């Protein structure tokens, strides 16, 4: 089975994890007022502040360890890309990192 076959399931699993981590960062009550989907914008929908991005980065590091580097992911973005960043962009990045790890396994 190829990654393309697994991609939708992997993305759904990663989306669930990201939603859980975001809920921990922004708070349960606020998270419940927003339907977090692949199209949810960090800037406009979630209104994440820079300190919350730092907190999300720490939670991603705790959960995924060195398998992903959120800071490097953001560093590759220009201002417009960062402002337009969606949950889906992050989910696809994480899924790609995890798929690369599986592909590197013997």
Q: Is residue 14 part of a domain?
A: yes
Token pair listed for 48:
């994440």
Residue 106 lies inside a defined structural domain of this protein: no
Whether residue 36 lies inside any domain: the answer is yes
pTM of the complete model: 0.85
Q: What is the pLDDT of residues 10-50, one digit of tens each?
A: 899 999 999 999 999 999 999 999 999 999 999 999 999 98
CATH of the domain at 50: 1.10.1200
Cβ(1)–Cβ(10) under 8 Å?
Answer: no
- Whether 4 shows a pLDDT value over 60: the answer reads no
Q: How many domains does the chain have?
A: 1
Residue 93: pLDDT band with limits 50, 70, 90: very high
pLDDT in tens, 49-79: 989 989 999 999 999 998 898 888 988 899 9
Whole-number pLDDT of residue 25 = 96
17 neighbors 56 (Cβ within 8 angstroms): no
86 within some domain: yes
Domain range spanning residue 82?
3-100
In-domain check, residue 105? no
pLDDT for the residue numbered 106: 37
Domain presence at residue 60: yes
Contacts of range 65-73, beta carbons closer than 8 Å, 24 or more positions apart: 67/97, 67/98, 67/101, 68/93, 68/94, 68/97, 68/98
Task: Give the integer Cα–Cα distance in Å for 95 and 9.
Answer: 10
Q: Is residue 18 part of a domain?
A: yes
- In a domain? residue 39: yes
């Amino acid at each position: 089975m190829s990654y393309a076959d697994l991609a939708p399931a992997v993305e759904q699993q990663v989306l669930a994890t990201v939603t859980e981590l975001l809920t921990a960062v922004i708070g349960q009550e606020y998270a419940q007022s927003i339907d977090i989907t692949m199209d949810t914008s960090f800037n406009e929908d979630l209104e994440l502040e820079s300190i919350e991005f730092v907190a999300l980065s720490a939670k991603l590091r705790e959960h995924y360890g060195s398998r992903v580097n959120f800071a490097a992911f953001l560093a590759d973005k220009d201002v417009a890309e960062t402002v337009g960043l969606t949950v889906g962009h992050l989910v696809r990045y994480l899924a790609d990192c995890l798929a690369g790890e599986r592909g590197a396994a013997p």
